[in-house]
Amino acid sequence: LWTLIHHTPLRIPAPSRPAHSRDVPLPPTLSRVMSRSATAPPANAYEAQREAKIAENKARMAQLGILDTSRALSHAADAARVAARNANVRSPNPSSHTPRDRSRAAPAVSRRSSRLTGVTPHDYRECDGMLDASEGVGRGGKVQGNSRGWDEEVAYNPEVYTAVQREALGTCAAPWTLFVDGYEGSVRIYDKGPAGQCCHQCRQKTVCKHTSCESCGLKRGTFCGDCLMMRYGENVDEVLAAGSAWQCPPCRDLCNCSQCRQRKGWPATGTLYRKALREGYASVAHYLVLGSTETESEDRDEEMEDVKA
Q: Which helix (H) or strand (E) holds 183?
A: strand 183-184
Asked whether residue 118 carries a pLDDT value surpassing 90, the answer given is: no
Hey, is 180 helix, strand or coil? coil
DSSP 53: H
pLDDT tens sequence across 240-299: 999 999 999 999 999 999 999 999 999 999 989 999 999 999 999 999 999 875 445 455
The amino acid sitting at 40 is: A
DSSP 110: P
Q: Do 245 and 258 touch, CB atoms closer than 8 A?
A: no
Spatial CA neighbour of 251 closest among 168, 166, 161: 168
Spatial CA neighbour of 48 closest among 59, 58, 38: 38
Other beta carbons within 10 Å of 106: 5
Cut 0.75: pTM above it: no
Hey, is 137 helix, strand or coil? strand
Q: How many CA atoms lie within 13 A of 85 on its CB side?
A: 6
Mean pLDDT of 202-231: 95
Looking at the DSSP assignment, which residues form a beta bridge with residue 224?
210
Q: How confident is the model at residue 193 (pLDDT cuts 50, 70, 90)?
A: confident
